[in-house]
Amino acid sequence: MRYNQEFRFFAEDFWNIFNKQKGLCFLTGRKLTEINTEVELVKPHLTKEDGRADLSNHYMVDRDLKHLARYLSAEEIVHLSAEIISWRGKDYGYSITKKKEKGK
């Protein structure tokens, strides 16, 4: 990835992230392909000065998640998903519990 006056993302950057994630969606573990993959920002709220364009601030997700991942961080998506499962999961046969933290 190159960042001077404009952001540039090259095929080499795509494959570096893809291989680092072992071809799996960062959030769901779904198998990624060249067709269903979107590259998004881990922390979309960062400024350029804070590292928004850094390669380490990019990850790959399944295209089904692109709208969420474009505006929410990975952590925000996980918390939102847990909230949705807690509220509506029973309607679809799912439940969720929060793991207790050690020492608390």
Question: pLDDT per residue over 33-84, tens digit each?
Answer: 989 999 999 888 988 889 888 888 999 999 999 999 999 999 999 999 999 9
* Band of residue 95 on the pLDDT scale cut at 50, 70, 90: very high
- DSSP E strands, 27-84: 37-41, 58-62
pTM: 0.77
Is the separation of the CB atoms in 53 and 1 below 8 Å?
A: yes
Contacts of 46 (CB under 8 A, 6+ apart): 52, 57
Instruction: Tell me the CA distances in angstroms from 50 to 44, 45, 97, one per residue in order.
Output: 11, 9, 34
